[in-house]
Amino acid sequence: MQKYIALNQNNPEQLFILVVVTNLMKQCYELQESGELVYMDTTAGLDTLNTPLPILSTSTPVGGLPLAAILISDKTAATFTKALEMVKKMVLLMAFSRWRPIIGSQIVMTDDCKAKKIALHNT
């Protein structure tokens, strides 16, 4: 695990990315719905550092199911891109119902955040 140094004047390029994919989440990637539609929603302000928490999820007949939870240091396109690449590496073989493991889901729904759109386009 890489040591994290908070963003400061000495090292403004240091990123913090923590990707959580549990066994339940890995099984959700095998569902057909994960190959069709993924939601990406980001919540911030959960702690004193204002750490963004993007959640990837999909809809199924039984309700929404989580695909990944990600803690990141900021909301830049570079950080979102790196985080999504890490998710894809973690679930590559079973990703998105095995239909599109390299490409990803057919549709990704997110809010109107330019950084997320760039990151999704890049990955």
* Helix/strand/coil for 78: helix
Q: For residues 69 and 20, is the Cβ–Cβ distance under 8 A?
A: yes
This prediction has a pTM of 0.76
Q: Kindly report the average pLDDT of the chain as a whole number.
A: 78
| CB-based burial label for 121 (10 Å; 0-12, 13-18, 19+) | exposed
| Domain chopping of the chain, boundaries | 17-122
In eight-state DSSP terms, residue 3 is P
What does the pLDDT look like over 68-120, one tens digit per residue?
999 988 888 888 889 988 888 887 666 654 555 455 567 777 877 888 888 87
Chain segment 20-31, per-residue pLDDT in tens: 999 888 888 878
pLDDT above 90 covers a percentage of the chain that reads 8
